[in-house]
């Protein structure tokens, strides 16, 4: 990552110049709100544990988190005491995630067609790559909004004959 606002997708995409390739850019790690030590938290805030367990946690007593992450309880409505705050276990759903919106994309350099750009599950960008010249590589550059800020995600697309 070159800055807080730019993210490089770890896996390159490889496509034949004659095919259309549907891709999914998973931005979960950028969207998730994770537990932090010694942080003030307000009523009704949601987070996810640093080691995912399939649940989110809601602040039901505002306060300051502790210096060590709690052992998260995994029964809905069970409570975790954390410093002076209390977290209540909830079904994950979209709780504890910032939502991706307004995605668009372009090819760098030009030559790759990127279409059907949309959001799925609040944190994934779907798109279709077409065209490109065999033997060339492109960056698919996605611009989107996350937590009120404009962000960029890049994926390397290698065009190869199969």
Asked whether residue 103 carries a pLDDT value surpassing 90, the answer given is yes
Give the residue-averaged pLDDT of 124-144.
97
CA 104 to chain centre: 16
The CATH superfamily assigned to 6-30+98-159 is Immunoglobulins (2.60.40.10)
Closest to 59 (Cα-Cα) out of 67, 75, 71, 48: 48
pLDDT band at 93 (very low <50, low <70, confident <90, very high): confident
pLDDT band at 95 (very low <50, low <70, confident <90, very high): confident
Give the residue-averaged pLDDT of 87-113.
94
Distance CA 57, CA 48 (A): 6
How many Cα atoms sit within 13 Å of 74 on the Cβ side?
7
Asked whether residue 91 carries a pLDDT value surpassing 70, the answer given is yes
Assigned token pair, 33: 């709100």
CA 144 to chain centre: 11
Asked whether residue 2 carries a pLDDT value surpassing 80, the answer given is no
Give the residue extent of every domain in the chain.
6-30+98-159, 33-91
pLDDT band at 69 (very low <50, low <70, confident <90, very high): very high
pTM (predicted TM-score): 0.81
DSSP 89-133: EEE-TTTTBPPEEEEEEEEESTTEEEEEEEEETTTEEEEEEEE--
Distance CA 81, CA 74 (A): 14
Q: Are 91 and 56 in contact (CB under 8 A)?
A: yes
């Amino acid at each position: 990552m070159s800055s807080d606002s730019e993210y490089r997708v770890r896996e390159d995409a490889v496509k034949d110049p004659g095919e259309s390739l549907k891709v999914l850019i998973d931005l979960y790690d950028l969207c998730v709100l994770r537990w932090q030590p010694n942080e003030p938290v307000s009523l009704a805030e949601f987070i996810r544990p640093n080691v995912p367990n399939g649940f989110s946690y809601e602040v039901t007593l505002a306060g300051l988190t502790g210096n060590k992450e709690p052992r998260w309880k995994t029964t809905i409505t069970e409570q975790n005491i954390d410093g002076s705050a209390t977290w209540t276990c909830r079904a994950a759903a979209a709780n504890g995630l910032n939502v991706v919106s307004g995605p668009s994309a372009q090819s760098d350099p030009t030559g790759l067609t990127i279409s059907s750009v949309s959001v799925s599950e609040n944190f994934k960008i779907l798109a279709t790559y077409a065209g490109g010249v065999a033997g060339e590589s492109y960056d698919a550059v996605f611009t989107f909004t996350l937590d009120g800020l404009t962000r960029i995600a890049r994926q390397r697309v290698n065009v190869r004959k199969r």
